[in-house]
Amino acid sequence: MFTSVLMIEKPLSPEDVDFVTTLHGEERISFVVLLQPRGDQADVLLRAIDDVAMGELKEAVREGEEPEGGEAREPAEIGLEYSLRALRQAGAEAVGQVIEEHPLDKLKTVVEDAGADEVIVLTAPHYVEEFFHRDWASRARHKVGVPVLKLFAHSE
- Domains annotated for the chain, with CATH where assigned, are 1-150 (3.40.50.620)
What single-letter amino acid sits at 63?
A: E
pLDDT tens-digit profile of 14-72? 999 999 999 998 899 999 999 987 654 455 545 555 555 556 555 544 444 455 555 56
Segment 98-148, tens digit of pLDDT: 987 777 778 889 999 999 999 998 887 655 555 544 566 676 887 888 998
Q: What's the pLDDT at 105?
A: 74
Whole-model pTM: value is 0.77
Q: In sequence order, what are the residues at sequence separation of 6 or more whose Cβ sits closer than 8 angstroms to the Cβ of residue 29?
A: 1, 2, 3, 4, 21, 23, 92, 93
125, 154 contact by CB (below 8 A):
no
Please, which residues bridge with residue 5 across strands? 32, 119
Q: Which long-range contacts (CB under 8 A, 24 or more apart) does 63-70 make?
A: 66/38, 66/39, 67/37, 67/39, 68/37, 68/39, 68/40, 69/40
Report whether 122 contacts 151 (CB < 8 A): yes
**What's the pLDDT score for residue 43?**
58
